[in-house]
Structure formats: structure tokens, C-alpha cells
Structure 1
């Protein structure tokens, strides 16, 4: 199964990615991890990324896309993967489609984890990080909404929305159940996990 996970900060996407990766037997590929790995190994892509990271700029799509392209070509990802952190924009989504098309593959689903803003704000405030003030958290929610809304429209045909409120295993169960239904055939869009 080839999946992309999206969700606002505080929706528990990282936690769910780890569970779904294990249950589905596919690698969890996080762009944050890819950046760290390439920078540490001082690969050509890592050196490119570091120049931007050091100045606080966003790493350009062609650099991130190059890292994703290399990672998806590795043997453990050929039959499936769970991408976390890419794509974040419609141009990145098109780049991912081109990468998969070259391999004769396509995404099976895009899983969107959602939760009411007050709940995600509370979750993030409870982490106790000094930079997690309520204003900063709410600002990040606005940025996420602006960046992600076009992506949700782009992926409308394969979008599965999962309510990320409740016990962790229950949320994972909703996602797995929705993915199982999606695998059985077309459904009215957008899909919602049971």
C-alpha cells in the first residue's frame, strides 16, 4: 500500500504513522528523517539542503523531491510506503506522481488526520515546549490550513479523513478500517473513516 499522511500539528500524525507502518508492514518515510540522514552523511542532496536549513529557508522542492525519489527506489519501499511530510504543496504532489509514474505505481490513499483546533492546541501546550505558546500554535494551524487546503482538493478522489480524537489504538483502527474499505472499491467522496 502506498500512502501519504497529512494532518495539522498536534493531530498525532507521527504516532499514527508508526502504528500504521508496523500494522501494514510498510516503511514510514519522514522527510524530517530524510533531511537529517542526508545532512549527516553529507550527500550532495544533504549539502544542498544544509545550505537552506542553515539560513532558515525552506528546502526547495527539487532537493526534497530528490531525497524522496532515492528513498522510494530502495527495496523496502518498492511494494509500499507511508510518506509523512511530503507532499506539502500541489507542486510537490505532482512531483510525487511523476516519481511513482516512472516506477509504474500510484498512491492508494491520502490519509488526513483531523481534530478540533482547541484539542490540538491543548495537546501541543501540554508538551511544555518553550516555543509552543498558544499564539504560535494557532498561527501554525493557519499556515497548515492555507498550505493544505489545495492539497486536499488535489487528492479528493483518494482522500480518507480520519477523526484523530480518542484513544490512540481507536484512531489507528479507524484509519485501518477506512483503508480496508477504500481497497475494496470506489466510495463517495470525500471518504470518512468509520
Structure 2
């Protein structure tokens, strides 16, 4: 009887191993160039982009749709998923800085936004339903470019903005509390 059980177990284990073998072989032969979503959120180091930390640093990586933040002492590093501009012609790249911050910012569409969509309202007050700037905004030295929150969480991780960098409201609130005016920003 002992031999029968051993033989049944051996047969079952051997059969399962045979069934799994093609999957294991295919997994080992997967091309090394396979791109996964997790690779888009590769950590970076501030010194690859700035000479000093100054008041802090932000890198908005358009291609990976991620925002990286380092505080002034370099101890805090935070990585957030973000929305990025819809098209390359709406994308501004280079160095700038945070020049102003606002809680519950009001939104006024730019002339080019109104040209693309004449039905846009003239203005939406801060805290009003439908305000695309969410709960917080950090204005950059470039006119009409911001880092801001959004109530439309479907936009995060996508090319969905008219030039701004968008974050989940919870993330922009965390960042807003840490970022002083004068923080260096790089959009790359």
C-alpha cells in the first residue's frame, strides 16, 4: 500500500511538473526589452538635474508621467504619478521655479484653451464643482503653467492636460505643504 501511495504522488507531481514546464520555459525566454508599468517610476537623484538642493527640487518627468520631489536637506524624496500635457506642442520643458501657491485656486482658461473649446466658462471659482485645478496649485515662473490637483482621477498617469502637471488632490496637498516658494522645478 505504501508503494501505491508513493507512486500516485509521484505520478501527480510529475504530471503537474510536465504541465508547468512550457510556462516556465516561456517565462525564462521573455525578451529583456519587455516594458512594464513599474519601470516608468524609476527613482532619480536630484544631483542628476540640479547643482544644489536650494529650497528643494521638483523634477516632472513627462515621458514617465511622474513627479519627483526632494526637500532642502535631501532627506525627503517623494515620487508621485502625474498627468502630463496632451501633445508635445503643449509641453514646455526646462528649468523654472515655484513662484506662488494657492489653496482652492480659481481657474481661468487660456486663450488657446478657449480657441480649442469655445464652450469653456470664462472662469471657475476655487472650490467650485468642475474646477480642473483641484484643491491646490503651485504656479511656475512660466505663465499659465502649474502643478495642481485634480478631481478627475482618470487623468493621472495620462496625457490629459493643456500643459500643466496634474496630481491626485491628496498628493498635491502633501506636496503643497512641503514646497516653499522658490523651489526649483525641471520639466523634462
Does TM, scored on the shorter chain, surpass 0.5? no
Tell which structure's C-alpha radius of gyration is larger. 2
Q: Which has the higher contact order (CA 8 A, sep 6+)?
A: 1
| More strand, by proportion | 2
| More helix, by proportion | 1
- Give TM-score, length-normalised by structure 2: 0.24
